Amino acid sequence: MTRGSTLPAHPLSPLSGCLAIPAQTRTSRAPAPLLDGFNTAPVDEAHSTLLACLRSLSWARRIADHRPYPTLDALLAASDEAAYDLTAGDLTEALAAETLPALPADAYGAAHTALSAAHAAYEARFGHAFVISLAAVPPDERLDHVLEGIRSRLANDPEDERVVAAEELRRLGKARLVSCFRGPGV
């Protein structure tokens, strides 16, 4: 029994050997002033800006070395790529600089106690601060989201948690870049 396509053969166009490529659109929008300043800043200044977003020297160097970025989206894509390539040492370096997300000013005392206890248990189990991106979480749901995240992630195997923490760091870095470079027109 031979296998083959059940569809009829498609005749080739007269331009056999040439592929039609869909038209691509380009944005002519110039970079935002903050991004333009980052693109032209001295390398040490660019590293400082990036390290404020994610404390990994290799991540910061890689992003700074690939400047200029035409758009914030291009910078965010470079951030993602660099974050995916963090080594175990880079990840340890970045995690060591993280702190627990701040509680809302109006959080009640029991929330502080619960969060402190959960964080202490997490840090004892995994050896680093609990990291979670709250960029997409409404402010009034953040405390519950953090507490639920710590509780559920405490059940993770250390290697599995390292993967989750790396993903959360990538999201945090990206959200911090957006905050850093959001300006008029971005």
Q: Report which of 172, 163, 177, 176 is spatially closest to residue 91, judged by C-alpha positions.
A: 163
- Amino acid present at 40: T
Top pLDDT among 63 and 105 is at 63
Q: How far apart are CA 134 and CA 50, in angstroms?
A: 19
Q: How far apart are CA 93 and CA 184, in angstroms?
A: 33
Predicted local distance difference test score (pLDDT) of residue 31: 52
Structure tokens at 174: 């990206």
Using an 8 Å Cβ cutoff, are 121 and 162 in contact? no
- Amino acid present at 140: D
pLDDT interval class at 91 (50, 70, 90): very high
Q: Over the stretch 41-67, which tens digit does the pLDDT of each residue have?
A: 999 999 999 999 999 999 999 999 999
Q: Is 115 helix (H, G, I), strand (E, B) or coil?
A: helix
